[in-house]
């Protein structure tokens, strides 16, 4: 069991600092703008809260959360901060990490869903921080857990883009970012 609270709060702080004029900016996720990723974080926070509580909702059960800046809700900064806090709270319950659950229409063990949620927060937090010029650090525990999780996925699984090579001995966060198909040294 990993505490998602630091990652959720770090992500909420990043979202609160995104200026409106940055929503159209490019990100390390080539197909997505900052606004698209912000919207994605808002949706995944709901999906993975429901996964933790084993309460799948029909609104997201057919597929994963979308990423569409044009769909940002009014007051999204505050709303998404509340959703992220609820996400972290839901995953503090040991029962969230057991049994089977569903996220984005995919059945998976609770333990895996928790790691996916952490990975989404860490990697998309990094994407948003990098795209908006904000500093970004994670704990060694978070980086190691995410790196172990993404390293289990076959390179051709379609979960991530093609891995980007990083120097030998690079920090765990850089290795994670490279493994998810992003250049750890990306600049907009």
In this predicted structure, the answer to whether residue 60 has a pLDDT above a threshold of 90 is: no
Q: State residue 161's pLDDT score.
A: 76
Architecture of domain 5-154: Up-down Bundle (1.20)
In this predicted structure, the answer to whether residue 110 has a pLDDT above a threshold of 50 is: yes
Which residue, 120, 125, 124, 128, is CA-closest to 34? 128
Average pLDDT score, the chain: 90
User: What's phi and psi for 111, nearest 5 deg?
Assistant: -60, -40
Q: State residue 68's pLDDT score.
A: 86
Considering only residues 56 and 100, tell me which one the structure prediction assigns the higher pLDDT: 100
Residue range 179-186: mean pLDDT, rounded: 92
In this predicted structure, the answer to whether residue 158 has a pLDDT above a threshold of 70 is: no
The torsion defined by the Cα of 124, 168, 185 and 150, in degrees rounded to 10, comes to -20
* Lowest mean pLDDT segment, chosen from 39-53, 96-110, 150-164, 168-182: 150-164
The conformation of residue 157, written as its DSSP 8-state character, comes to S
Q: State residue 96's pLDDT score.
A: 97
Query: For residue 13, what are the β-bridge partners?
Result: none
Segments making up each domain of the chain, as ranges: 5-154
Distance of CA 79 to the CA centre of its chain: 17
Residue range 121-140: mean pLDDT, rounded: 96
In this predicted structure, the answer to whether residue 64 has a pLDDT above a threshold of 90 is: no
Q: State residue 8's pLDDT score.
A: 98
């Amino acid at each position: 069991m990993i505490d998602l609270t630091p990652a959720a709060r770090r992500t909420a702080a990043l979202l609160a600092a995104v200026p409106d004029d940055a929503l159209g900016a490019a990100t390390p996720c080539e197909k997505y703008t900052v606004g698209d990723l912000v919207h994605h974080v808002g949706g995944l926070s709901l999906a993975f809260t429901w996964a933790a509580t084993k309460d799948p909702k029909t609104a997201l059960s057919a597929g994963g959360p979308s990423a569409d800046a044009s769909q940002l809700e009014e007051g999204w900064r505050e709303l998404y901060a509340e959703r992220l806090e609820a996400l972290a709270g839901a995953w503090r319950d040991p029962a969230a990490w057991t049994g089977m659950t569903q996220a984005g229409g995919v059945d998976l063990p609770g333990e895996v869903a928790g790691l996916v949620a952490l990975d989404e927060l860490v990697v998309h937090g990094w994407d948003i921080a990098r795209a908006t010029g904000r500093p970004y650090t994670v704990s060694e525990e978070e980086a190691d857990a995410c790196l172990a999780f993404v390293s289990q996925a076959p390179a051709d699984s379609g979960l991530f883009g093609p891995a980007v090579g990083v120097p030998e001995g690079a920090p765990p966060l850089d290795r994670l970012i490279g493994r998810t198909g992003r250049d750890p040294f990306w600049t907009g």
